[in-house]
Structure 1
Amino acid sequence: MKKRIIFTFLIVSLISFSAVVRIKDIAKFRGARDNQLFGVGIVVGLNGTGDGGSLNSPLLANMFKNFGIPISESDIKSNNTALVMVVADIPPFYKEGMRLDVVVASLGSAKSLENGVLIQTPLYGADGNVYAVAQGPVSTGGVEVKSSVNLQSRFKVTGYIPNGALIEKEIPSNIVSENSITILLQNPDITTSARVAAAINQKFDLKLAKANDPASIKVQIPDAFLDDLITFLSIIEELEVVPDQAAKVIINERTGTVIFGGDIRISDFTLSYGNFVVNIQNGEIEGQEATISNLISALKALGATPQDIIGIIQELHKAGAIFAEVKVM
């Protein structure tokens, strides 16, 4: 005998409660962006796990030459050194003397960078200028863990140097253009863009902001803040809005996980799936609405497995009964 779930759904006005967040948490100012730095260096002090060939010989020879020690490239054969690529991100407004975290990765045949030390390496921007120098001991993570088959072995040819780079030159950041600034949303959305503009205009009681598109809002700087831009920006950052987002259900079939946001509604339907017959009619069930959340709770109460629930949600989506985007991973 099939188990039967009967939903009687009353047509009511749904109120969606979304998080109130600061503009600072969902957007940034145009011109205030990270920049990527890179360089090629040498890690020394390896315990026989280095390149062991001639790949890094030219760099080592030049280094010795700068120290006044003439040596031929052919004479340099070391298993204790490794040629590496060094990369870092420099956030906006960082000044000379501040520090950055860096990542190093082997370019040659080194087996491990563990316990090695990166020798001073200039880090270049996309324009070819040096903006920082990196140096320091390389960390490849904690000790090997062999007690669980679910843990991945450490990847020892990639390492990290916390605060390993020293900024030598500031990258200019310009966020003002024609006495205005532009706010860029991290997740472009038409409704959110309009709400941000409305919040700014309401705060200053002036029509300063205009949503240009789903991603950007242009804001005119009032005369009172032309010589105090930081205060103006801080006021904007602290304004609170309710960001909008499309309803979405994310399904991970491998782990049996279903993630969804808000009360995603379901239309009337009747579905026979395995031992279950799901029937949502124009009504309610125990005073609850026909939503994904309530459907999952009811199915779990009847003993449905994660695979059953995922299968039912997928079939409902195919039939157009779920008012949301469904993404299967």
Structure 2
Amino acid sequence: MTRTSNLFLKAIGVLVCLIAAIAFMPQARAERIKDLGTFQGVRPNQLTGYGLVVGLAGTGDDAIQYATEGMKGVAARFGLTLPQGVNPALKNAAAVLITAELPAFSKPGQRLDVTVSALGKAKSLRGGTLILSPLRGADGQIYAMAQGNLAVGGLGVSGADGSQVSVNVPSAGRIPGGATVEQAVATGFDTAPTLTFNLAEADLTTALRVADGINRAFGDRRARAMDAVSVTIDAAQGAEERILMMGLIENIEIKPAEAPARVIVNARTGTVVINGAVRIAPAAVAHGKLTVSVKESPTVVQPAPFSQGQTAVEQSSTINVDEERRPVIDFKGGASLADIVKAVNAIGASPADLVEILGALKQAGAMKAELVVL
């Protein structure tokens, strides 16, 4: 075999190894645009309502005024009029607040899950039934009607001597599919001159990459990043064309920008979270612990016989100072999250100690990261 053939075979071998290395390299993390935010106007809406739950086993509101008025209104709805000055005893009924979420594009006839919570002194809603109640949006319009039997996961029992036992929260429950949509919410997305996509987390780099990804997918310049949150997209009029375009945009994959270096500290629980972007400049840290203890050992001193003296207490104090010796941590330039965790574990620092160390590093200018204290 000639020398040229050997060189050719070696070149082929190198090329094969290079291709294999590229194949097994970790690929850049890509996210779908739909996982990074939402289109403006395409969002759920909160609904609330007031109602009465009946059929309780003596765990209701008794004769609270707003519950009484609500029961009178329910009776009047069926053509019944209660005598003047007569207030019904409502131990078997309870005034409640009803909450639900109306998803985007909900249409009349669709079912919603509702949550029912006691408004007054009701001890338990277990076994109750919600009477037909309207659910209103922020504009005061009725968008759904709720009714049904409650599913309550809690349990409350009380004794004659005042003792009580509660499991979970018996004063709140849910009605799966307990509301029916009566009116659709006008989003206006099909008539606006443009569509706006809003990122869940503000980031200029990610907004630019979203706009660039949309433009590359459609082969034009229809998308523009307006700020760190919003991307404006030119769209044709009509719901059908816009829905098609929105569906295509949602599934475009881009690589979002890396999160800024950040350290989250919960001072109440001692929880410390450090993201992978945190780096430490060259620094040395010494974290010691000084313990001072004072021990009192009083001694009773008796006078000599027939000395006219008095019994006295002689104080004796012992003071100890114990300073725990811990090694100095030497952070090299560019120390990563793994280096920080390894060094802190080596000296046995507690979460409270870690908070002090990180705060001191930031004050010294050795940690270029945002320190967030919850």
**TM-score, normalization by structure 2:** 0.73
Paired position in structure 2 for 1:221: 235
Q: Say whether the 8 Å CA contact 2:154–2:169 is kept in structure 1.
A: no
SS in 2 for 1:273: coil
TM-fit CA distance, 1:177: 4.9
Amino acid at match of 2:79: G
Higher mean displacement: 72-81 or 46-55: 72-81
Q: What whole-Å deviation, never above 9, does each CA across 1:237-275 have from its counterpart, x for those lacking one? A: 001122222221112345443222223111111111111
SS in 2 for 1:217: strand
**Are residues 62 and 266 of structure 1, via their aligned partners in 2, closer, same or farther at CA, if it must alter by over 3 Å?**
same
**Are residues 153 and 328 of structure 1, via their aligned partners in 2, closer, same or farther at CA, if it must alter by over 3 Å?**
farther
Q: Percent identity?
A: 37
Out of 22, 27, 32, the position equivalent to 2:32 is 22
Q: Say whether the 8 Å CA contact 1:296–1:309 is kept in structure 2.
A: no
**Are residues 120 and 222 of structure 1, via their aligned partners in 2, closer, same or farther at CA, if it must alter by over 3 Å?**
closer
RMSD: 2.5
Paired position in structure 2 for 1:314: 359
SS in 2 for 1:36: strand
**Are residues 183 and 195 of structure 1, via their aligned partners in 2, closer, same or farther at CA, if it must alter by over 3 Å?**
same
* 1:35 correspondence with 2:54: no
TM-fit CA distance, 1:308: 3.3
TM-fit CA distance, 1:167: 0.6
Out of 59, 65, 70, the position equivalent to 1:49 is 59
**TM-score, normalization by structure 1:** 0.82
Q: What whole-Å deviation, never above 9, does each CA across 1:75-101 have from its counterpart, x for those lacking one? A: 411201111111111111011111112
Cα distance in 2, alignment partners of residues 178 and 211 from structure 1: 18
Unmatched segments (≥5 aa) in structure 2: 1-25, 157-165, 289-325
Decide which structure has the larger Cα Rg and report it. 2
Query: Whose relative contact order is higher, 1 or 2, with alpha carbons under 8 Å and at least 6 apart?
Result: 1
Higher mean displacement: 183-192 or 259-268: 259-268
Cα distance in 1, alignment partners of residues 35 and 233 from structure 2: 18
Amino acid at match of 2:249: I
Paired position in structure 2 for 1:110: 122
TM-fit CA distance, 1:173: 1.6
TM-fit CA distance, 1:155: 2.8
Unmatched segments (≥5 aa) in structure 1: 1-15, 145-151, 283-288
Higher mean displacement: 232-241 or 154-163: 154-163
Q: What whole-Å deviation, never above 9, does each CA across 1:259-297 have from its counterpart, x for those lacking one? A: 222231111111111113112245xxxxxx511332112
Q: Say whether the 8 Å CA contact 2:52–2:95 is kept in structure 1.
A: yes
Paired position in structure 2 for 1:63: 74
Cα distance in 2, alignment partners of residues 324 and 175 from structure 1: 40
Paired position in structure 1 for 2:19: none
**Are residues 189 and 72 of structure 1, via their aligned partners in 2, closer, same or farther at CA, if it must alter by over 3 Å?**
farther
Amino acid at match of 2:177: N
Cα distance in 2, alignment partners of residues 321 and 176 from structure 1: 52
